[in-house]
Amino acid sequence: MDRDDRVETLSEAECLHLLRTVPIGRVVYTEHALPAVLPVAFEVAPDDRLILGLRAGSSLSRALDGTVAAFQADLLDPVSRSGWSVLVHGRAEVVRDEAEYRRLLRSGPQPWIGGGQQRMFVRITPELVSGRRLLTAGQTLHRA
Interface positions with a second copy (CB under 8 A): 2-3, 6-7, 22-24, 26, 28, 34-39, 55, 57, 68, 70, 72, 74, 76, 78, 81, 83, 85, 87, 89, 110, 112-115, 117, 128, 134, 137
- As measured in angstroms, the least distance from the Cβ of 21 to a second copy is 12
The amino acid that residue 131 corresponds to is G
Angle of CA points 105, 107, 110, to nearest 5° = 70
* Phi, psi of 50, deg, nearest 5: -90, 140
99 vs 116 by CB, closer to a second copy = 116
Please give the Cα distance from 18 to 5 (Å, whole number).
21
38 vs 94 by CB, closer to a second copy = 38
